[in-house]
Every structure is written in structure tokens, then in C-alpha cells.
Structure 1
Amino acid sequence: MFSGVFFMIAGALGIIRFPDFYTRLHAAGKCDTLGEVLIILGFMVYEGFSFLSVKLLFLSFFILLANPVGTHALIRAAYLTGVKMWKKEESQ
């Protein structure tokens, strides 16, 4: 569970630190997906094998499928509507 919290915090820092919409959403999508799944797996280990752990397993599969698809849809919509990508400015 602690490793999941670490990835969630890393994703939050990525949202704060990265310069544009695309890189922020990339950090949020990757770190949040892994963090949520690791937290759910920690709950499964804590709970032991039961019906609840089976439900948590299905929930983690859904998160592994839904989060990247949602992130991709948001980025594609932003790209199609003309949200500009960040470009590093050359210092003179």
C-alpha cells in the first residue's frame, strides 16, 4: 500500500511540476493507474482470499483498462481542439 501511495504522490508532483497539459496528464495517467492498483493489491493481501478480494481484483483490472483509455481520449480531444504543446525556449 505504501508503494501505491508513493506513486500517487509522484503523480501529484508531476501534475504540479510539468509545463503543459499533455505532460501533466501523462504523469497523472501513469502514476495514478499504478498507484491505485498497488493500493488495491495491498488491500487484497490484507484482507486475505475472500469474495471481497475477488471484487478488488476485478476493480484493479477495470482500472488498468479504463485509466489509460480515458487519458488517451482526453489527450486526443485536447490535441484536436488545438491545445498547444510546450516548447523549450532557446536562451540567447
Structure 2
Amino acid sequence: MIADIIISVFVVFGGIFGLVGSFGLVKLQDAMQRLHAPTKATTLGLGGVLIGSMIYFGFVDGHVSFHELLISLFLFITAPITAHFMAQTYLRMHREESDLPDSGRPVGWSIYQDPPSIEEAEKAPNA
């Protein structure tokens, strides 16, 4: 009974995040805003369903599902990295460096400038 409640909570939690993420994908106007909604839905929504499924197979069915554990780990690692790369690509394609606020560091925005060499970094004043 307790395992059923825990499984249900994770599956409903995942479903709610999936619904909110898909709603945000449709309703948000800007590409940067639309990027945020499905990333959270993927990470938390699918993660909740996978955790609920792992609990089901562990307690109810009696065996551990390593496939779902690997899928969860892969998802939690790759979804934020993918969103970060997509955001950088959007900035590079749609914004000039002068449109962005000052970074407050001697280097500036990493998508527009190469990192300084060690000698240049030591010479630059600390921000």
C-alpha cells in the first residue's frame, strides 16, 4: 500500500511537470522562454516517471531496473547541458555582443571572446 502511494506520487508529479512544460512550450513567446519550459519538463517530469517506475520494479516486481537508472542519470546530466548549448547558439545568432550587459569581468561573454592566456589573465585587473 505504501509503495503504491509513493509510486503514484512520483508518476503524478512527473505528469504534472510534463503538462506544465508542454503548456509553457505553447504559450511562451520568446525562444529563450520556450527553451526553459520543456527542459524543466524533461528533467523533472520524465525523471519523476522513471523514479516511480524504478520503485515499482524494485518493490512490487522484486527486481532492480538498471536501465531506468541509467536513463535517469543520462537525462539529468544531458538536459541542462543541451539547454545551455541551445541558449548560447540563440545568443550567438540573434544578439550582438554590444546588446548584452557588461559581464563585470575582464574577459566578457565567453561565446564572443576566447579565454585569455595565463599571462593576460594575470595582467588584467580583478573585477
Counterpart residue number, 2:91: 79
3-state SS of paired residue (2:29) = coil
- C-alpha deviation, 1:55, in angstroms: 2.2
2:94 aligned counterpart, secondary structure: coil
Which digits, 9 at most, give the CA deviation of each residue in 1:45-82, with x for residues without a partner?
1111534x222112101100001101111111111011
Correspondence 1:6 to 2:6: no
1:1-92 superposed matches below 5 A: 1-48=11-58, 50-51=63-64, 53-82=65-94
Identify, as 1 or 2, the structure richer in helix: 1
Length-normalised TM-score, structure 1: 0.81
The Cα RMSD (Å) is: 1.4
Q: Percent identical across equivalent pairs?
A: 28
Q: Which runs of at least 4 in structure 1 moved beyond 4 Å after TM superposition?
A: none
Gaps of 5+ in 1: 84-92
TM-score of the superposition, structure 2-length normalised? 0.60
Give the whole-Å Cα distance in 2 for the aligned partners of 1:50 and 1:24: 38
Unmatched 5+ stretches in structure 2: 1-10, 96-127
What letter is aligned with 2:51?
L
